[in-house]
């Protein structure tokens, strides 16, 4: 049997719920007292019949009561109201007073008992009416009555347009409904608890619109995309396109010689300045050969830098896969190869360290051939070059192959257009502010250009090349360092040169607002469905970390590496991460949340160091990423619950049972194997069935208390809180050993 709520039935009939409740009471349905009460189908149909055409419906509000007097009294009142102030000209002036309407015909005895309504009437002289009030005169019984018409009521809007995020306050303003009413409706009818600033989901907003009889169109503001900036290009002519330098990325396993090989190419010594000889950041360098240029991206090879390698492969034209001839293909080599394949770019293999003993280039080719990377001499499409960073063997051949690949790709760009490209890295620099290393992919960047990059913007006040020299402009396929952004951009963000700084600011602020809204929308309140999972999470241990690093890319990579250490038992939770040194704010946050502070290639401010000592906050500083991950891993292993291992100590046979008053049953025993100790746990076994598990109360040899008795000796024992022992029972002594666990990710 179907049911319908009073509020929904009232909406269907176009009347108020209070009127519907009154009608229910008239029909004997006295249990209906609230708009949330329900009616069965037969009752609802009975109420509907009352509102069919021809049925008289009582108005919801009573008409204002009007003073009523008998006709005989009304005539007297009229005479009192008529005061003659002047008889000149036979003009009678009626002073403002209460005028009663009297029937035109003479009153009959029956009419004298009628009730005449008295209505207040305004004076007949003119007054300045407020805007929207229409005045008119009406003659009645020889006198002039001035009546005024109220302003026309504004019709209720049937359709409104709103942009997300939509709060209760926004909805109240648009619909003209009090916020308290909306909050109450959400709670009573939809079981949704909300506040006036609560962001509502689109489904709830649409549902509320239907219930209030208003069509709500949710119109999302379109984000400014790449096509909008492409429309600002100065020239799209084919004759303006010029050849640009290829962008080459070095990928491969750690310590296979990527940086050393690149170092030999650009005649610098970057690897010597890297801690542990491992590249920690993405670098971009431009090299000239035979009048042509090649741009190299050097990405780290350590497995923790997977995200950085992926970004390098996505913005590159050609990938150089570096494989050590003595090591062969390693796990990170396969990983780098997958990134290159995903980017759909040509691959050139550099078989490095060919000068080392044990080098075997044939084995490398065989291994890569099994990964669908077949050399040209074997009928494939992949070029293999044997190189050595020490003897510089094969360096020129490698460059020639790269230039050949770029000619086949026919790489072109238009230098006349506004610059656009990708952020390789960004950091806070003392004296220069926010500095971003960018790679220009299209157009030309000039000093002073307005740059929009993700949710940040600024002017290119200082542009320097990879050697630190200031340049006035930089064309396509050029890596440069740009200063003066409003905040640190994200590595991998696209940047565009725009004409108006106000537009750049508005777009950046809109993107920031959208990010905040997204984060707010992701926040979920505890519901009955999630309550049990929240309680279960209370048993999960976690290590809380505040992470600071010198580069944005380092923050991302270290954050990912630490979070991947999480297990079902222990979680690594990054409370805050950012670029720059460790400040007092970081220490205060760590103190409040019981977290540790990890710094990578940064220092701690003096005030922050003093505060950390006062609060007992631990600060760890690192220069190699895997040192940080290893120490956190060790700390997590210390938090793991140790494994319990049961070790049997020995077995004792009961040969005699003695009943001692006030003590209970005592067993005379013989230790058959191992030993029995006073503090050991014991099991009482009868016919190979365990009938009791507990502890010993006492262990004696003759009359002396002892700590242990070994095999071949007799003893007496008393089992704590248990007396049901018999001759022939076996007492097995054991202990539970705790074994430290090793973290397996």
Strands 541-549 and 570-579, by their bridges, are: parallel
Residues 462 and 595 in one domain: no
Q: Any idea which residue has 């303003």 for tokens?
A: 173
Residue 121 has pLDDT above 70, yes or no: no
pLDDT (average), residues 516-534: 50
Residues 437 and 335 in one domain: no
pLDDT (average), residues 242-251: 87
Residue 116 has pLDDT above 90, yes or no: no
Consecutive H or E run containing 36 = none
Q: How confident is the model at residue 313 (pLDDT cuts 50, 70, 90)?
A: low
Residues 598 and 514 in one domain: no
- From 218, 253, 286, the end of a domain falls on 218
Cis peptide before 165 (omega within 30 of 0): yes
Q: How confident is the model at residue 695 (pLDDT cuts 50, 70, 90)?
A: very high
In a domain, 415, yes or no: no
Give the CATH number, domain containing residue 449: 2.40.30.10
Q: Is 442 exposed, middle or buried (0-12, 13-18, 19+ CB in 10 A)?
A: buried
Q: How confident is the model at residue 466 (pLDDT cuts 50, 70, 90)?
A: confident
pLDDT (average), residues 378-397: 89
Residue 323 has pLDDT above 90, yes or no: yes
In a domain, 42, yes or no: yes
Residues 432 and 361 in one domain: no
Highest mean pLDDT among 286-290, 325-329, 503-507, 666-670: 666-670
What's the gap between Cα 612 and its chain centre? Answer: 30
24: three-class secondary structure by DSSP: helix
Q: Any idea which residue has 């720059």 for tokens?
A: 580
The total number of structural domains in the chain stands at 6
pLDDT (average), residues 247-255: 84
Question: Given this model, what pLDDT does residue 530 score?
Answer: 46
Q: Residue ranges for the binding site for GTP? A: 252-259, 298-302, 352-355
Of 673, 674, 653, 672, which Cα lies nearest the Cα of 717? 653
Residues 275 and 390 in one domain: yes
448 compared with 297, residue with greater pLDDT? 448
Residues 6+ apart with CB under 8 A from 503: none
Q: Across all residues in the chain, what is the average pLDDT?
A: 77
Asked if residues 366 and 334 have their Cβ atoms less than 8 Å apart, the reply is no
pLDDT (average), residues 536-543: 60
What's the sign of the alpha-carbon dihedral 10, 11, 13, 14? positive
In a domain, 524, yes or no: no
What's the gap between Cα 389 and its chain centre? Answer: 45
Give the CATH number, domain containing residue 594: 3.40.50.10050
- From 639, 665, 680, the end of a domain falls on 639
Give the model confidence (pLDDT) of 169-199 as tens digits.
Answer: 888 888 888 889 999 888 888 878 888 887 8
112: three-class secondary structure by DSSP: helix
Residues 450 and 319 in one domain: no
Which domain covers residue 621, as residue numbers? 535-639
Give the model confidence (pLDDT) of 548-561 as tens digits.
Answer: 998 888 888 898 88
Q: Residue ranges for the binding site? A: 252-259, 298-302, 352-355
Residue 346 has pLDDT above 70, yes or no: yes
pLDDT (average), residues 573-586: 87
Residues 275 and 370 in one domain: yes
Percentage of residues in the chain with pLDDT exceeding 70?
74
Question: Given this model, what pLDDT does residue 71 score?
Answer: 43
Between the two ends of the chain, the Cα-to-Cα distance in Å is 56
Q: Which 3-state string (H, E, C) describes 238-307? A: HHHCEECCCEEEEEECCCCCHHHHHHHHHCCCCHHHCHHHCCCCCEEEEEEECCEEEEEEECCCCHHHHH
Q: How confident is the model at residue 600 (pLDDT cuts 50, 70, 90)?
A: very high
The least confident of 121-125, 514-518, 707-711 is: 121-125
In a domain, 151, yes or no: no
- From 639, 659, 690, the end of a domain falls on 639
Asked if residues 196 and 169 have their Cβ atoms less than 8 Å apart, the reply is yes
Give the model confidence (pLDDT) of 21-49 as tens digits.
Answer: 888 888 888 888 877 788 888 888 888 88
Of 255, 262, 297, which Cα lies nearest the Cα of 278? 255
52 compared with 562, residue with greater pLDDT? 562
Residues 276 and 364 in one domain: yes
Residue 484 has pLDDT above 70, yes or no: yes
Give the model confidence (pLDDT) of 129-162 as tens digits.
Answer: 444 444 444 444 444 444 444 444 445 567 888 8
Residues 251 and 373 in one domain: yes
Percentage of residues in the chain with pLDDT exceeding 90?
17
Q: Any idea which residue has 């938090």 for tokens?
A: 639
Give the model confidence (pLDDT) of 202-234 as tens digits.
Answer: 888 888 888 888 888 887 665 555 555 555 556
In a domain, 138, yes or no: no
In a domain, 27, yes or no: yes
Here the tokens at position 79 are 């005479």
Residues 591 and 509 in one domain: no
Give the model confidence (pLDDT) of 638-672 as tens digits.
Answer: 656 677 788 999 999 999 999 888 888 999 999 99
Residues 648 and 546 in one domain: no
Residues 276 and 373 in one domain: yes
In a domain, 154, yes or no: no
Residue 529 has pLDDT above 90, yes or no: no
For 168, how many CA atoms within 13 A lie in the half-sphere containing its CB?
A: 17
In a domain, 117, yes or no: no
Question: Given this model, what pLDDT does residue 700 score?
Answer: 92
Question: Given this model, what pLDDT does residue 684 score?
Answer: 94
């Amino acid at each position: 049997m179907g049911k319908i709520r009073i509020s929904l039935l009232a909406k269907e009939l176009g009347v108020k719920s209070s009127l519907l409740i009154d009608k229910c009471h008239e029909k004997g349905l006295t249990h209906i007292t609230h708009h949330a009460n329900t009616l069965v189908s037969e009752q609802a149909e009975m109420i509907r019949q009352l509102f069919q055409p021809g049925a008289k419906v009582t108005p919801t509000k009573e008409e204002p009561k009007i003073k009523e007097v008998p006709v005989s009294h009304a005539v007297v009142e009229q005479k009192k109201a008529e005061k003659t102030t002047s008889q000149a000209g036979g003009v009678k002036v009626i002073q403002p007073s209460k005028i009663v309407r009297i029937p035109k015909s003479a009153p009959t005895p029956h009419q004298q008992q009628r009730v005449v309504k008295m209505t207040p009437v305004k004076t007949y002289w003119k007054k300045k009416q407020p805007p929207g009030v229409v005045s008119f005169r009406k003659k009645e019984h020889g006198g002039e009555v001035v009546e005024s018409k109220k302003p026309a009521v504004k019709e209720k809007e049937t359709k409104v347009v709103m942009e997300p995020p939509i709060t209760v306050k926004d909805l109240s303003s648009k619909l003209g409904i009090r916020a308290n009413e909306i909050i109450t409706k959400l709670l009573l009818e939809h079981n949704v608890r909300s506040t006036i600033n609560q962001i509502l989901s689109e489904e709830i907003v649409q549902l509320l619109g239907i219930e209030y009889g208003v069509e709500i169109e949710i119109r999302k503001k379109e984000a400014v995309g790449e096509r909008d900036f492409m429309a600002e290009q100065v020239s799209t002519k084919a004759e303006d396109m010029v050849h640009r330098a290829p962008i080459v990325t070095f990928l491969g396993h750690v310590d296979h010689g990527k940086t050393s090989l690149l170092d030999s190419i650009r005649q610098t010594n970057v690897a010597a300045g890297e801690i542990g000889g491992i590249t920690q950041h993405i670098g971009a360098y431009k090299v000239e050969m035979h009048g042509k240029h090649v741009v190299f991206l050097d990405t780290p090879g350590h497995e923790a830098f997977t995200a950085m390698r992926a970004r390098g492969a996505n913005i590159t034209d050609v990938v150089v896969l570096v494989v050590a001839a003595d090591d062969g293909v390693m796990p990170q080599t396969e990983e780098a190869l997958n990134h290159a394949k995903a980017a759909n770019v040509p691959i050139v293999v550099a078989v490095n360290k060919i000068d080392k003993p044990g080098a075997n280039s044939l084995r490398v080719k065989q291994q890569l051939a099994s990964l669908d990377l077949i050399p040209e001499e074997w009928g494939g499409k992949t070029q293999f070059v044997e190189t050595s960073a020490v003897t510089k063997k094969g360096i020129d051949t490698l460059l020639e192959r790269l230039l050949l690949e770029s000619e086949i790709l026919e790489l072109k760009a238009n230098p006349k257009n506004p610059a656009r490209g990708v952020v390789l890295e960004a950091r806070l620099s003392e004296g220069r502010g926010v500095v971003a290393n960018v790679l220009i992919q299209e157009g030309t960047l000039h000093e002073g250009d307005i740059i929009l990059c993700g949710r940040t913007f600024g002017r290119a006040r200082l542009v320097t090349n990879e050697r630190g020299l200031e340049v006035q402009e930089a064309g396509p396929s050029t890596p440069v360092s740009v200063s003066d952004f409003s905040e640190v951009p994200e590595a991998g963000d696209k940047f565009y040169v725009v004409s108006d700084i106000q537009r750049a600011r508005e777009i950046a602020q809109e993107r920031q607002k959208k990010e905040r809204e997204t984060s707010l929308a992701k926040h979920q309140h505890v519901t009955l469905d999630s309550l049990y999972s929240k309680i279960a999470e209370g048993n999960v241990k976690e290590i809380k970390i505040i992470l600071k690093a010198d580069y944005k890319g380092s923050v991302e990579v270290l954050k990912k590496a630490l979070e991947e250490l999480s297990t079902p038992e222990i979680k690594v939770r990054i409370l805050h991460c950012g670029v720059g040194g460790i400040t007092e704010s970081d220490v205060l946050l760590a103190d409040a949340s019981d977290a540790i502070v990890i710094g990578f290639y940064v220092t701690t401010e003096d005030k922050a160091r003093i505060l950390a000592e006062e609060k007992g906050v631990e600060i760890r500083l690192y220069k190699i990423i895997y040192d940080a991950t290893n120490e956190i891993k060790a700390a997590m292993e210390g938090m793991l619950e140790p494994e319990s291992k049961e070790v049997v100590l020995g077995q004792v046979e009961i040969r005699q049972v003695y009943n001692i008053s006030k003590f209970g049953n005592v067993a005379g025993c013989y230790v058959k194997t191992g030993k029995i100790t006073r503090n050991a746990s014991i099991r009482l076994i009868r016919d190979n069935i365990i009938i009791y598990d507990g502890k010993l109360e006492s262990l004696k040899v003759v009359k002396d208390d002892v700590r242990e008795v070994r095999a071949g000796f007799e003893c007496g024992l008393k089992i704590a809180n248990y007396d049901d022992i018999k001759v022939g029972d076996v007492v097995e002594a054991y202990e539970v050993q705790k074994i430290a666990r090793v973290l397996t990710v």
